[in-house]
Structure 1
Amino acid sequence: MSEEKSLNFIEEIVENDLNSGKYETLVTRFPPEPNGYLHIGHAKAICLNFGLTQKYGGYTNLRFDDTNPVTEKTEYVNSQQEDIKWLGFNWKNELYASNYFDELYGFALKLIEKGLAYVDESTADEIAALKGTPTEPGQDSPHRNRSIEENLDLFTRMKNGEFGDGAYTLRAKIDMTSPNMLMRDPIIYRIKHAEHHRTGNKWCIYPMYDFAHGQSDSIENITHSICTLEYVSHRELYDWLIEKLEIFPSKQYEFARLNLTSTVMSKRKLLQLVNENLVSGWDDPRMPTISGLRRRGFTPKSIREFCERIGIAKRENLIELSLLEFCIREDLNKTANRVMAVLDPIKLVITNYPEGKTEELIGENNPEAEDGGGTRVIPFSNELWIEREDFMEVPAKKWFRLAPGAMVRLKFAYIVKCEDFVKDANGNVTEIHCTYIPESKSGSDTSGVHVKGTIHWVSAQHAKTAEIRLYDRLFTSETPDAEEGDFKDYLNPESLTILPNAYIEPALAEASLDNRYQFIRKGYFCLDKDSTADKLVFNRTVTLKDTFKKA
């Protein structure tokens, strides 16, 4: 009998709340800001929020926190929706903070009417100077004690567009001596004359995140508002606003965000990489974005498994990228068909095999597959492509591949013996001549000859050409964010190697973007969206083993 998996601390809270009758229905939300593409860190939050309502019933809303019109785009909304669906989750309601702009404006008026908010014309520098420090109390703004009537008039005029950007702000009136700096009269509305991706030019004042977020949760009756640890200090303001507005008491809970080695997670820094053309786009296969991982060949299952393995904690930690790679290897080992591809080709001619003859050999698709994997037909002829690294003119000790006089087995085919080779004017080997043993055919070998090495190949007559893109870690440092200088100084110059003239089995001409393959002895690969009918492009998802050398 398997042990029951222990609950994480958020699951314990949820179970207690449901069992005590505090809530009848569990309601969570995933609230991305549509200012970039989602990354692997968001995947952890997605799996947590949607996973809770899958486990305990209830539902999850997708709510876009679109309160900053300058940085937000419909493109980002669409990509974020696609990523969530691809990961295997469905939301009940698609919502936007901008849905609530009228209600939020009403909430702001209510605070003013209660004497709990005021309009301030202090500049950003003046507000910062009066804010104090963590050890020194702040000082009241000279505009803090305006009358309710004057505040209502000014806030209405702010809404009506009478003032320029930054001329006024609306601040909550809380406590300028609070030990929590966020409680020292935080700004809750600012003037921003900018077109919004959904509301156009209807508004020229926009709520700040802290004002919009908790109130949006409350409007939607979110029972458990789950966010990352950097919002711990925001919880006091979250609760204060809900209490003073006398609205549904959503509760905020914080967990440790995902920190992953050899990459950056800041959307600002990822946007820098995109805008400065240091990567090909948000979905560059080296990026930690969900769309980048998808393009590289990661599967939804592997990412969900990764999120499950790292768990939900209260303390920040750094997760090795190798764990994510382990999860995709584990998944693809059971699901990816084995095929043969030669990335750095050299010609092998079997001199005693009839020229012009084609033989159809049988290859296993995936011996690890639960259904047995099935088989496929592989054409064989007297001229093959093999890997250049599988031949050595002067063999090293314990060399079990091809060399003058040495024998190897060709995968799914015959045993061959190297008789001689040809060099060009520069001394490079261009062609290897072998003989084969007709009785040594795989599956019916009666030759009595035993060899230690097996190499892969493709028939030169039948092979298709392809471009192969070998991806590695984007940064040479495990913690580029923490290094001195610019994080871009640690970009890995070898994060992408392009092999323009590889040869692949003819069956791969039918590959689709949904397929995953193990190129025998080379790693796991998938078709890239850049492929055309005339030019196939394959991305390496991950090597067969963890080969990364730490700098």
Structure 2
Amino acid sequence: MTEEEKPSNFIRDFIDEELAAGKHSQIVTRFPPEPNGYLHIGHAFAIGVSYGIAQDYKGKFHLRFDDTNPEKEDTEYVDAIKEDLRWLGADWGENLFFASDYFEQLFDWAKGMINEGKAYVDDLTPDEMREYRGTLTEPGKNSPYRDRAPEENLELFEKMAAGEFDEGAKVLRAKIDMAHPNMNMRDPVLYRILKAEHHRTGDKWKIYPSYDFTHGQSDAIEGITHSLCSLEFEYHRPLYNWFIENLPVPHTPRQIEFARLNVEYIITSKRKLLQLVNDNHVDGWDDPRMPTIAGLRRRGYTPEALKEFCERAGVAKRERVNEYALLEYCLRQDLEGKATRRMAVLDPLKVVIENFPEETEWYEGPNHPADEARGKRKVPLTKEIYIERDDFMEDPPRKFFRLGPGREVRLRYACYITCTDVIKDDEGNIVELRATFDPESRGGSTPDGRKVKGTIHWVSATENVEIEARHYEQLFTKTNPNEVEEGQTFIDNLNPDSKNVLKVYGEPELANATAGEPFQFERKGYYILDTESEDGKLVFNRSVGLRDSWGKKQQKK
């Protein structure tokens, strides 16, 4: 999608209006991940929105970790998130922050709210708090501890911070309105007691601020102009604004919500993704079947393909589900120009070319048919070769333009061969073919200009490299993996055939591939050399096949 094709959206309209009114001198956006898991494709979309806005308006972009829950956070996730953003091309420069950087300031502001009578320490149990909170149709009721004097609240809060109470014994709550129609405004929790080791602050803190109390204030401290977040935070916006209005913050950011990215066959709940990892349904966060950025990268997705997909999905106010076929289309479009061409046979059938010389002959094939500057590679042809089993039929129909008894085909880049005999085992299975070649067809043509309709790929049966090819399908069988029957969970929708491992033979040049390098196995699909390839073992993950259902469907419209 070109710059001219990019549509405007309501976020840009808001910003344009504010800039025209002179409200901002510079646009500042941020991405605030929780370091409790790996980023997924939905995060890639959110990053693209916030970083794209900052780039397009020549503003600043911050990466800030919302590290307020030490029980679920880890430096592994911090490092992985930074790696993912770098790979996506989102450059935060010197603007790397942590919510834990602001713990002292938030603590002081909380004490200020207590002194102003806007916060109180509550002794209700979690169950009692839920009961007092009310429902969507019934107002809540005030806690019996709501009217404690500021002096008592401050003393109790200091003792909470000193670790003098057990976890769950007390919380600090904002004093807003227990009858408010928005449940988020019914005296939300600001601090809870949690005696856990923090990955940055160690055991310094015995209390931790809530997300709602931390989020907006962190934006304000950093001078964020536009807090761009997914649609589920729309009902948190009144609370976001209430804190901004009732605290002495240095800036007043504006929260704007947009619909998150949903894709067929994909779940983006970090809780469920963690369950897949912990219960060994997948081989880690970077399993190529996972919708994590690490998994997509390992499968062979490129930053450019993901960016194109996100731009085509578009920024909207209404939830929608994007086609998985569009995601694959964007990858094919990108890899078409990037992937080096090689031949590999996935389901080998041996062919003995009986009149071929005993010595090896070498032929040239382009590294990319549309880019001569990328040069050519040498491909060895020998007396024994492998072809794809489905490139031969013993009794082919009239329009089958591949190999059959008495039929002639072109070996890609090499010569013409004709099948002369079919060898079967005792059970009638075809195990080998015999053939002859036309010596005058070397190079793929003959002096008399004879044409053949079929061209097939091949590899030498004696001069090749053995490859472990991992073929991946969607991890789930349903377009909506969360759609389950009574008594089931999303686990019941896992696809038992989501991973298949094949023994493949490839041309020798594939031995020189480097990890992460994309290839097109001619006529078969796009592959990437996996990071597990070492000690002479070649492992290729199939990124996507060559067939494009989405693109063809668009052409018919």
The C-alpha deviation readout for 1:89-134, integer Å capped at 9, x for no partner, is 1103111001111111011101101100000010011011011111
Give the structure 1 partner of residue 202 of structure 2.
200
- How far 1:407 moved relative to its partner? 1.2
Q: Do structure 1's residue 333 and structure 2's residue 340 form an aligned pair?
A: no
Q: Do structure 1's residue 439 and structure 2's residue 448 form an aligned pair?
A: no
Counterpart pick for 2:368 among 366, 369, 374: 366
- How far 1:19 moved relative to its partner? 2.6
CA distance in 1 between partners of 2:193 and 2:3 (Å): 58
- How far 1:444 moved relative to its partner? 4.7
Give the structure 1 partner of residue 350 of structure 2.
347
Secondary structure of the structure 2 residue equivalent to 1:6: coil
CA distance in 1 between partners of 2:317 and 2:368 (Å): 41
- How far 1:447 moved relative to its partner? 4.1
- How far 1:18 moved relative to its partner? 2.1
Give the structure 2 partner of residue 284 of structure 1.
287
Q: How does 1:134-153 map to 2 (within 5 A)?
A: 134-153=136-155
Q: Do structure 1's residue 267 and structure 2's residue 270 form an aligned pair?
A: yes
- Are the equivalent residues in 2 in contact too, given 1:439–1:447 (CA < 8 A)? no
CA distance in 2 between partners of 1:74 and 1:541 (Å): 29
Q: How does 1:106-255 map to 2 (within 5 A)?
A: 106-247=108-249, 248-255=251-258
- Are the equivalent residues in 1 in contact too, given 2:367–2:374 (CA < 8 A)? yes
- Are the equivalent residues in 2 in contact too, given 1:363–1:377 (CA < 8 A)? yes
Give the structure 1 partner of residue 518 of structure 2.
516
CA distance in 1 between partners of 2:545 and 2:43 (Å): 25
Give the structure 2 partner of residue 411 of structure 1.
412
Give the structure 2 partner of residue 91 of structure 1.
92
The C-alpha deviation readout for 1:385-416, integer Å capped at 9, x for no partner, is 11111122222342221111111111111111
CA distance in 1 between partners of 2:8 and 2:441 (Å): 57
The C-alpha deviation readout for 1:501-524, integer Å capped at 9, x for no partner, is 210010000101231111011100
Q: Do structure 1's residue 497 and structure 2's residue 500 form an aligned pair?
A: yes
- Are the equivalent residues in 1 in contact too, given 2:482–2:490 (CA < 8 A)? yes
Deviates more, 1:1-10 or 1:316-325: 1-10
Number of positions where the alignment pairs a residue of Structure 1 with one of Structure 2: 545
Q: Do structure 1's residue 77 and structure 2's residue 92 form an aligned pair?
A: no
Give the structure 2 partner of residue 40 of structure 1.
41
The C-alpha deviation readout for 1:152-210, integer Å capped at 9, x for no partner, is 00000000000010000000000011000100000110001111111111011000000
Give the structure 2 partner of residue 378 of structure 1.
379
Judged with a 3 Å threshold, the aligned counterparts in structure 2 of structure 1 residues 428 and 447 are, in CA distance, closer, same or farther, namely farther
Give the structure 1 partner of residue 327 of structure 2.
324
Give the TM-score normalised by the residue count of structure 1: 0.97
CA distance in 2 between partners of 1:476 and 1:373 (Å): 40
- How far 1:442 moved relative to its partner? 3.2
- How far 1:372 moved relative to its partner? 5.3
Judged with a 3 Å threshold, the aligned counterparts in structure 2 of structure 1 residues 83 and 109 are, in CA distance, closer, same or farther, namely same
Counterpart pick for 1:297 among 300, 303, 313: 300
CA distance in 1 between partners of 2:284 and 2:361 (Å): 44
- How far 1:531 moved relative to its partner? 1.1
CA distance in 2 between partners of 1:259 and 1:309 (Å): 13
Give the structure 2 partner of residue 464 of structure 1.
465
Judged with a 3 Å threshold, the aligned counterparts in structure 2 of structure 1 residues 447 and 490 are, in CA distance, closer, same or farther, namely farther
- How far 1:446 moved relative to its partner? 1.6
The C-alpha deviation readout for 1:288-343, integer Å capped at 9, x for no partner, is 00000000001111111111111100110001111110000000111111110001
- How far 1:547 moved relative to its partner? 6.8
- Are the equivalent residues in 2 in contact too, given 1:109–1:152 (CA < 8 A)? yes
- How far 1:421 moved relative to its partner? 2.1
Give the TM-score normalised by the residue count of structure 2: 0.96
- Are the equivalent residues in 2 in contact too, given 1:437–1:447 (CA < 8 A)? no
Give the structure 2 partner of residue 487 of structure 1.
490
Identity of counterpart residues, as a percentage?
A: 55
Secondary structure of the structure 1 residue equivalent to 2:330: helix
CA distance in 1 between partners of 2:4 and 2:90 (Å): 27
In structure 1, stretches of 5+ residues that fail to align are none
- How far 1:2 moved relative to its partner? 9.2
CA RMSD of aligned residues (A): 1.5
**Given residue 261 of structure 2, which amino acid in structure 1 is its aligned partner?**
L
- Are the equivalent residues in 2 in contact too, given 1:62–1:95 (CA < 8 A)? yes
- Are the equivalent residues in 1 in contact too, given 2:412–2:444 (CA < 8 A)? no
Judged with a 3 Å threshold, the aligned counterparts in structure 2 of structure 1 residues 191 and 397 are, in CA distance, closer, same or farther, namely same
- Are the equivalent residues in 1 in contact too, given 2:515–2:533 (CA < 8 A)? no
- Are the equivalent residues in 2 in contact too, given 1:367–1:373 (CA < 8 A)? no
- How far 1:493 moved relative to its partner? 1.1
CA distance in 1 between partners of 2:172 and 2:3 (Å): 57
CA distance in 2 between partners of 1:333 and 1:351 (Å): 37
Secondary structure of the structure 1 residue equivalent to 2:110: helix
**Given residue 414 of structure 1, which amino acid in structure 2 is its aligned partner?**
C
Secondary structure of the structure 2 residue equivalent to 1:163: coil
- How far 1:88 moved relative to its partner? 1.0
- Are the equivalent residues in 1 in contact too, given 2:416–2:444 (CA < 8 A)? no
- Are the equivalent residues in 2 in contact too, given 1:333–1:368 (CA < 8 A)? no
- How far 1:245 moved relative to its partner? 0.4
Give the structure 2 partner of residue 389 of structure 1.
390
Give the structure 2 partner of residue 59 of structure 1.
60
CA distance in 1 between partners of 2:97 and 2:367 (Å): 45
In structure 2, stretches of 5+ residues that fail to align are 551-557
CA distance in 1 between partners of 2:413 and 2:186 (Å): 73
- Are the equivalent residues in 2 in contact too, given 1:119–1:151 (CA < 8 A)? yes
CA distance in 1 between partners of 2:7 and 2:430 (Å): 60
The C-alpha deviation readout for 1:482-506, integer Å capped at 9, x for no partner, is 333211111111111110x210010
Give the structure 2 partner of residue 103 of structure 1.
105
Give the structure 1 partner of residue 553 of structure 2.
none
- How far 1:373 moved relative to its partner? 4.1
CA distance in 2 between partners of 1:470 and 1:361 (Å): 29
**Given residue 422 of structure 2, which amino acid in structure 1 is its aligned partner?**
F
The C-alpha deviation readout for 1:227-268, integer Å capped at 9, x for no partner, is 000000000000001111031211100000001100111000
**Given residue 539 of structure 1, which amino acid in structure 2 is its aligned partner?**
N
- How far 1:74 moved relative to its partner? 0.3
CA distance in 1 between partners of 2:237 and 2:458 (Å): 61
Secondary structure of the structure 1 residue equivalent to 2:184: helix
